[in-house]
């Protein structure tokens, strides 16, 4: 085997490792919702209390994603990924020793802090092995790994819960995390590619060309139409994602009357829908732009429409009884909105200078994931104060869906990368003229 052949085999081994890394990561997120019913029964929790416990997962999630993302520029991603996976497993220990609301909160906070940076650091590690022109396929595989963990292994988890109890499911994922860590310690390597070439390539692409500023005040970037619109759509999408993770299994049990085993199979469908819809919408977006459609519509409007469509599906859910139509609505409602995470990152990449891109994307991720911090507690409160639990679940879905519809419509109006780029370019031209005038002024005075 030649050196080049060995390197190619090595990088696909890395892809496989990162695939299962994200699968475990998203399985950990999904577990709390799948185990909600037995946990609430055993610990005698109201829906509001359980919602606050579930929300504790996001206490340090956002800030950890930002800080560790910045740290990945200085520390090898191989060791950061290993540290995260080991921490996931350790975070399950308090529950195995003593199950109580306090230990559940401690476990979720620690788990959220260690899982927050998982996706951006995994992508960063992947890009060290693949040049820009070869990243499409491996990047898609990472996305599929996340969906695989979020839904496709749900039947296995629910089988364990039904047969052995919810603690066994937590224990299983803890062991799986340790097994992955041992394998990664053996196969995990740092890729040979750095980020400088990518940065130079991006800096020379389209937009306003040479007059585009190398740096823009952070406040101006964050308050631009495109960033605000993308953040709003991302926040709404994360509300939907959190509803799916925390409350959807209980909704299907309490309102639709499905068994926990049936629910384990139903929640596979939104994950499969994400695996199909996100690449398909990405392809459609690129095709629209190739045909001359503006980025505002090919990326911004399309991403906003995906959020609105998911919101409409959530609003329709309470009107539907158990059956194929409800399952189809669940699939659409909890899969389409995730496309806005992809479109939001590409939109930010259009207006943010390369030197500031990492920090701005990190801040945008922090803002979007705040939806996960507030949603579980709000819906839990609604359920506890409704006339019945079923009515509370239905009202919660209506509220989440209505918010997504409103947020998507506002985002579609706001997002306008072309206008933002022109505004920032005009500012750069103005500053350039002022500098030229200041440089010319002493010369004129000297001549006099």
* Residue 43: φ, ψ to 5°: -95, 5
Structure confidence at residue 122 (pLDDT): 81
Q: Which domains does the chain have, with CATH numbers?
A: 1-189 (1.20.1250.20), 217-439 (1.20.1250.20)
Spatial CB neighbours of 31, under 8 Å, sequence gap ≥ 6: 157, 169, 170, 173
Contact 269, 406 (CB under 8 A): no
| Amino acid 120: pLDDT | 73
Tell me the two tokens of residue 126: 């992947």
Token pair belonging to 161:
């819960």
Residues 6 or more apart whose CB falls under 8 angstroms from that of 71 comprise: 80
**For every residue of 70-90, which 3-state class applies, written as one string?**
HHCCCCCHHHHHHHHHHHHHH
| Longest Cα separation, the chain | 94
Structure confidence at residue 199 (pLDDT): 41
* DSSP per-residue codes, 237-295: HHHHHHHHHHTHHHHHHHTS---HHHHHHHTHHHHHHHHHHHHHHHHHHHHHHHTT--H
Walking along the chain (448 residues) 10 residues at a time, the average pLDDT comes out as 58 88 81 81 83 79 75 79 88 79 85 80 77 62 72 76 86 89 88 54 43 76 88 92 85 87 84 82 82 88 94 93 91 89 75 67 76 84 87 92 96 91 79 71 54
For position 133, what pLDDT does the model report? 55
Q: Are 397 and 317 in contact (CB under 8 A)?
A: yes
- Model confidence pTM above 0.85: no
Distance of CA 44 to the CA centre of its chain: 31
Q: What is the dihedral of CA 19, 22, 28, 34, to 10 degrees?
A: -70
């Amino acid at each position: 085997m030649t050196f080049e052949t060995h390197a190619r085999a090595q990088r696909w081994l890395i892809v496989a490792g990162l695939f299962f890394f994200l699968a475990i990561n998203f399985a950990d997120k999904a577990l709390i919702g799948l185990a909600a019913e037995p946990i609430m029964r055993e610990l005698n929790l109201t829906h509001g209390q359980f919602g606050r416990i579930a929300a504790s997962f996001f206490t340090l999630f956002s800030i950890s994603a930002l800080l560790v993302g910045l740290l990945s520029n200085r520390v090898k991603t191989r060791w950061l990924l290993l540290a995260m996976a080991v921490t996931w497993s350790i975070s399950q220990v308090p529950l195995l020793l003593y199950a109580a609301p306090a230990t559940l909160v401690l476990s979720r906070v620690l788990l959220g802090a260690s899982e927050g940076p998982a996706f951006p650091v995994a992508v960063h590690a992947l890009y060290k092995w693949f040049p820009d022109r070869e990243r499409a396929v491996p990047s898609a595989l990472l996305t599929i790994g996340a969906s695989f963990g979020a839904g496709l292994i749900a039947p296995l988890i629910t089988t364990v819960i039904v047969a052995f109890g919810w603690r066994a499911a937590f224990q299983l994922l803890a062991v799986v995390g340790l097994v992955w860590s041992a394998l990664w310690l053996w196969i995990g390597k740092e890729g040979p590619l750095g980020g400088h070439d990518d940065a130079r390539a991006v800096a020379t692409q389209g937009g306003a060309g040479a007059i585009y500023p190398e740096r823009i005040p952070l406040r101006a970037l964050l308050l631009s139409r495109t960033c605000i619109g993308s953040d709003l759509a991302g926040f709404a999408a994360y509300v939907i994602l959190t509803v799916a993770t925390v409350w959807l299994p209980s909704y299907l049990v309490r309102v639709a009357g499905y068994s926990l085993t049936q629910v384990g199979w139903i929640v596979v469908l939104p994950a499969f829908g994400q695996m199909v819809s996100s690449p398909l919408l990405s392809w459609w977006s690129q095709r629209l732009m190739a045909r001359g459609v503006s980025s505002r519509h090919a990326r911004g409007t399309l991403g906003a429409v995906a959020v609105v469509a998911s919101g409409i599906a959530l609003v329709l859910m309470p009107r539907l009884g158990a059956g194929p139509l409800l399952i189809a609505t669940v699939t659409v409602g909890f899969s389409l909105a995730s496309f806005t995470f992809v479109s939001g990152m590409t939109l930010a990449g259009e207006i943010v200078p390369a030197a500031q891109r990492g920090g701005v994307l990190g801040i945008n991720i922090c803002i979007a994931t705040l939806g996960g911090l507030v949603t579980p507690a709000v819906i839990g409160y609604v359920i506890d104060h409704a006339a019945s639990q079923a009515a509370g679940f239905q009202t919660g879905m209506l509220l989440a869906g209505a918010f997504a519809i409103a947020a998507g419509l506002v985002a579609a109006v706001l997002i306008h990368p072309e206008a933002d780029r022109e505004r920032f370019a005009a500012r750069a031209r103005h500053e350039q003229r002022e500098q030229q005038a200041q440089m010319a002024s002493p010369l004129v005075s000297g001549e006099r």
